[in-house]
Structure 1
């Protein structure tokens, strides 16, 4: 029996069935590029709090590839889905088309971080000479699981461009999307960043920051500074935003407690305080080279406060801590004027029904062209100075 034949893919119904050390060695082998959303602790908090699991439409079917000696060489966070909520890559039209043709779109399989549109690796192969083989075996195993449970399809969303390109060779369709990310060009201060912007944009940001800070105090807490009272306040803000945006929030209060207990040093809570009252808050997660903006909410309207807590405070933190970029979640062309540039996101899709596969392939080819054109246009008309020089006071 050859080495490839001796390897075994296990399907497990809980992240707990895979040891944290094994998982993290595959998910985050390099601390300098640590992605908190791929960490065993983050995915475990989702499951242990009940945000993922029975009754949620997210059923874990995680994969672990073991070598002949039992060593884990690759893992994959994989979920059976009975709906298309909490994914941020929209396929409702595909489900409707298959239904009209007499087929069933659900269940489907989703390789993703639930409720989290953060780009990152989705097939977590341990670095080494067999990394490419491990990635391919796990991708094929996901398709085998789909056949086993009667799933219509396999979707890997917000994966890396490299994975996306390689999966095209395994008959996965290619889809692109758009986000806005801020990139740190070695800035020494926020003013250093502002100096690279066109005068009108620079003045607008200064005005927004002054307006946001005029009636409230902004402060942040992380690590052991975070208390239950902070989480209570933030959860109230999260509930308000979640109810308005999604109809019902995806996460519960227990998730944030478990996240704080397991990953407090990776959590950054930014609050606005009016007198003795907390009136708004935003949660960011700290990666090895990136600050990831996640959730925000407020109890009362304050001009420009959303921009301050979610965007400008993130830039301040990234500059102060030497992080390469800040990501502020899905969608939002309004981020462009605030220094966040359009970035292409990637997803890969395998569809079992050949009729649906052919129709979707035609649609995605046009969609990729449209997104590339829009991103190029937005970059051309971005907020940065065209002359490349340093700005004077605006």
Structure 2
């Protein structure tokens, strides 16, 4: 289908607004898209990252992702609001964790698929999902793009719309636009102005502190050194580090029955060539060989743990490469939050804290939308109360 357009009759801050679906981010000028970004949006919402996913075929119809980006254009054809969006017929790679959700809908005779997903493919990271020009009220941008999403969903026969892992600040605007909020739980590490790793370890309960110290000593006793490759070292030979990271990524994807190579080798080349200081590779080296590693992406304030892999199995190596080393780096570099990825209650005993993560949902069937909205509200209340209870009972971490 060509770029679909829906004319918005409202005047928004004296603007005539045109709403369009754009089916390739390459059809949106990079400068126009990136002009909507704010601090903290990069790298996941940058045009460079999203375009690389499409151009390299990681996000494509034959991979279960049909780009369907939501955009609003003002006078002089200026992009004033946008959201990355995709039509999907399953939940693979969107980290929506909606299998039970979908089963319940189908059990009562409803339709869950095809669905429109607003979010970042393969990336369960929190952040804005509705991008807006600096002089446009974010709530107005949300209303406009939800209007476009709902209108188009009905036009092309989609069953539902899902805004995944959006910021908590966007929740009220999305609710006002008619979406129901869902809350899930991740585990994030927070930097409480620690000066040294020992400052952080002292925040842990005694038993957990002893456990972490014992685990942190293991790599040295195994003859393994862990370090972070970033910046100029990557720039000096990006293809070498892209190949190193891709091989590590494949070890995990190929080891487990649920694993899937969502990203291809070409995408890794772009990650290490185009993202600059926004990509890092933690490597564990033994006898001049990389035996394990973790691919992280970063913003000015956050570190995001994305992919782990290993060529050799060593006790506690996963925790050291994926968690402890990066915590030390966050303390040294003043990074505020470390999001270690989806799931993983084991992170609590290693100093991470449960954190609410938000998504918002709209079903085209009005009766179903009402029933699920009430169920999601009850579930969100339960999760938020559980997190608050955890915080109330934890003077110390771990």
Q: Check whether the contact 1:97–1:356 (CA below 8 A) recurs between aligned residues.
A: no
SS at match of 1:326: strand
Stretch of structure 1 that moved more, 197-206 or 321-330 = 197-206
Structure 1 residue 160 displacement after superposition? 1.1
CA distance in 2, matches of 1:75, 1:189: 41
The reply to whether residue 232 of structure 1 matches residue 243 of structure 2 is yes
Aligned match of 1:167 in 174, 193, 198? 174
Aligned pairs (5 A) from 1:1-394: 3-4=11-12, 6-26=16-36, 28-30=37-39, 33-215=40-222, 216-226=224-234, 227-243=238-254, 244=256, 246-382=258-394, 384=396
Structure 1 residue 369 displacement after superposition? 2.8
Stretch of structure 1 that moved more, 139-148 or 240-249 = 240-249
SS at match of 1:36: coil
Question: Given the superposition, is the C-alpha separation of residues 34 and 152 from structure 1 closer, same or farther in structure 2, using an over 3 Å criterion?
Answer: closer
CA distance in 2, matches of 1:177, 1:207: 32
CA distance in 2, matches of 1:352, 1:62: 19
Q: Check whether the contact 1:63–1:138 (CA below 8 A) recurs between aligned residues.
A: yes
Structure 1 residue 98 displacement after superposition? 4.2
CA distance in 2, matches of 1:383, 1:295: 32
Structure 1 residue 104 displacement after superposition? 3.8
SS at match of 2:35: helix
SS at match of 2:90: coil
Structure 1 residue 159 displacement after superposition? 0.4
Q: Check whether the contact 2:41–2:127 (CA below 8 A) recurs between aligned residues.
A: no
RMSD of aligned alpha carbons: 2.0
Question: Given the superposition, is the C-alpha separation of residues 151 and 322 from structure 1 closer, same or farther in structure 2, using an over 3 Å criterion?
Answer: same
Structure 1 residue 162 displacement after superposition? 2.1
Equivalent position of 1:392 in the other structure: none
Structure 1 residue 180 displacement after superposition? 0.8
Structure 1 residue 380 displacement after superposition? 4.1
Equivalent position of 2:5 in the other structure: none
5+ residue gaps, structure 2: 1-8
Offset from partner CA, 1:132-168 (integer Å, 9 cap, x none): 3222111211111211221001000100112122211
Structure 1 residue 82 displacement after superposition? 1.4
CA distance in 1, matches of 2:79, 2:246: 36
Structure 1 residue 103 displacement after superposition? 4.8
Stretch of structure 1 that moved more, 127-136 or 272-281 = 127-136
5+ residue gaps, structure 1: 387-394
SS at match of 2:219: helix
CA distance in 2, matches of 1:242, 1:378: 33
Equivalent position of 1:390 in the other structure: none
Equivalent position of 2:3 in the other structure: none
SS at match of 1:29: coil
Q: Check whether the contact 1:341–1:382 (CA below 8 A) recurs between aligned residues.
A: no
CA distance in 1, matches of 2:397, 2:294: 30
Structure 1 residue 214 displacement after superposition? 2.2
Q: Check whether the contact 2:239–2:272 (CA below 8 A) recurs between aligned residues.
A: no
